[in-house]
Structure 1
Amino acid sequence: MTQAAPEVRRIGIGALGVALRRGWADFVATPTQLMFLCVLYPVIGLVAATLAAGDEVMHLFYPMAAGFALVGPIAALGLYEISRRREAGRPANWATVFEVLKAPALPAILALGLLLLALFLGWLWAADAIHAATLGRLEVGRGGGGLALLQQVFETPEGRAMLLWGNLVGFGFALLVLALTVVSFPMLLDRDGGVARAIGTSLRAVALNPLPMAVWGLLVALLLLAGSLPLFIGLAVVLPVLGHATWHLYRLVVVR
């Protein structure tokens, strides 16, 4: 029998504050910052390797750093499970994150994760193509490292065109990921209804609450930016809080 689509509530901007406060409470009760530092150090190493590789991939530094937000919902899966257990009055600790591997909807979760990975790679391809069509045509400043690249970006028409089109395309990718996943990953942990049903519910949630969801996306972007300074270390707190808060946003939007 086909399951009925979950009912989606209309929420106000105030619900975002409720989700963030509950997310912070979950983080304080079950700290996971050390675990996230262990995840972030390889990411920081990848960024450092990109910078060390020189001019050939230097232009992908910003797209790569910004694009990690596209796969953030995958990293937050264990946090959703912690919040789900705490909400149900069940014990939870940092090891609870591994319980996701026992989820009945694990195949659907993996399929959705692969979709996000494909979108991340698509974003990097698009960023590289935009660079090739704009700043990549210039010969001046090549071989000068990051400083020369920054000068080209801000002081040449080609650089400004790259900024414009790169940010527009990046915004499109971010908007797509937000619409596809704002409630779909938490929903798959909560109830196994398949990828299509989870994505459909997420799209309906965004369509019914366009302003709150737009503000949520902006808040996520600003908090990720703040957590990235300096050296991405603040993300060890920002990412867990946002992960927990996303679970609570799902619970506020989707009727169980």
Structure 2
Amino acid sequence: MTSGTTGTTPQNQQPPAMPQPQTVTAEDIRAALKAGFSDFLARPVMSGFFGLFYALFGIFFVWALLWMGKIWMIVPGAIAFPLVAPFACAGLYEMSRRLKAGTSFGWADILTVMANQRKREMVWMAFVTLFILWVWFYQFRTVLVITLQHAAFSDLQGFFEVVLFTSEGWTFVIIATLVSAFLATVLFSVTVVAMPLLLDREIDFVTAMITSVRVVKRNPVVMLGWGAIIAVTMTLSFVPAFMGLIFTLPILGHTTWHLYEKAVAPKIGS
């Protein structure tokens, strides 16, 4: 299997065939988790670097919202935070690919592959993700204004008191949860396989998204179960000031690569 990170497809070459989804089982997730943990142990410092970067970004994100007085954005931000992790995992995908192939690599190799993604289709995936997140925040704000229009709070504690101990707050929780669950499912479905697929092959981002959705459609219980594992694990990692992400993000990132290899049929000739 090749990484597909060395330029564009020549004009005289036939476009690649549509990647084919495969059946994924709970045993495949277990095996992928085992392989992901093994990859983390093989290069703990390099893997942990990506987790540390993501953790520091989370700390800065929360601090910026508090500084701007956008307290209401912390909750949808915390919900959406795990779903943008695939962008932070591009280097981890490449590490897992090279570890499986037995190819030696250093910092420059991994960072170069990541830098090259700006010339490829992953940039368009970033726009898609940002658009869905924008819709996410907008709907959260809209529901907040409609359901809690008479409530007043000046800090995060006051926000939770209104949400948890008033009838308007529970109305807000129910509506926001339903809408957020729908958008989370959409975002997860179009990205879970698309990110490693774009790193691995020379295809367009629309094909990558379609393939990702087809994988989820073919394996709804298993793939959404995997999404739940990601969400719960990363949410628990927030508790110690985001520092748990130093370990959990790399393991989940490496695991995602191995799960992608199970979920999408290899290229012809690979």
Structure 2 length normalisation: TM-score? 0.86
- Equivalent of 1:150 in 140, 152, 160: 160
Corresponding residue number in structure 2 for 1:129: 142
User: 1:105/1:18 Cα in 2 relative to 1: closer, same or farther (>3 Å)?
Assistant: farther
- Equivalent of 2:61 in 37, 46, 61: 46
- Equivalent of 2:256 in 237, 246, 251: 246
User: 1:46/1:90 Cα in 2 relative to 1: closer, same or farther (>3 Å)?
Assistant: same
Corresponding residue number in structure 2 for 1:108: 121
Corresponding residue number in structure 2 for 1:185: 195
Q: Is the 8 A contact 2:54 2:88 kept in 1?
A: no
Alpha-carbon distance in structure 2 between the residues aligned to 1:5 and 1:42: 35
Shift of 1:147: 2.4
* Cα distance per residue 1:14-68 (max 9 Å; x no partner): 11111111111111111222343234224302202322444xx211111112211
Corresponding residue number in structure 2 for 1:82: 95
Q: Is the 8 A contact 2:163 2:169 kept in 1?
A: yes
* Cα distance per residue 1:86-145 (max 9 Å; x no partner): 11110134544313246579421111112112212221111111111111x114x434x2
User: 1:196/1:237 Cα in 2 relative to 1: closer, same or farther (>3 Å)?
Assistant: same
Q: Is the 8 A contact 2:58 2:242 kept in 1?
A: no
Q: Is the 8 A contact 2:93 2:257 kept in 1?
A: yes
Shift of 1:231: 1.2
Which stretch shows the higher mean deviation, 223-232 or 34-43? 34-43
Aligned residues: 251
Shift of 1:220: 0.7
Q: Is the 8 A contact 2:91 2:114 kept in 1?
A: no
Describe how 1:1-256 pairs up with structure 2 within 5 A: 1-31=14-44, 32-54=47-69, 57-101=70-114, 103=116, 106-135=119-148, 137-139=149-151, 141-143=152-154, 145-256=155-266
User: 1:7/1:45 Cα in 2 relative to 1: closer, same or farther (>3 Å)?
Assistant: closer
Q: Is the 8 A contact 2:117 2:123 kept in 1?
A: no
Shift of 1:146: 2.4
Structure 2 runs not aligned, ≥5 long: 1-13
Q: Is the 8 A contact 2:153 2:162 kept in 1?
A: no
Q: Is the 8 A contact 1:78 1:99 kept in 2?
A: no
Alpha-carbon distance in structure 2 between the residues aligned to 1:84 and 1:158: 50
Shift of 1:252: 0.8
Alpha-carbon distance in structure 1 between the residues aligned to 2:24 and 2:210: 18
Alpha-carbon distance in structure 1 between the residues aligned to 2:188 and 2:122: 16
AA matched with 1:179: S
User: 1:193/1:122 Cα in 2 relative to 1: closer, same or farther (>3 Å)?
Assistant: same
User: What secondary structure does 2:121 align onto?
Assistant: helix
User: What secondary structure does 1:255 align onto?
Assistant: coil
Percent of pairs identical after alignment? 31
Q: Which runs of 4+ in 1 moved over 3 A?
A: 92-97, 101-106
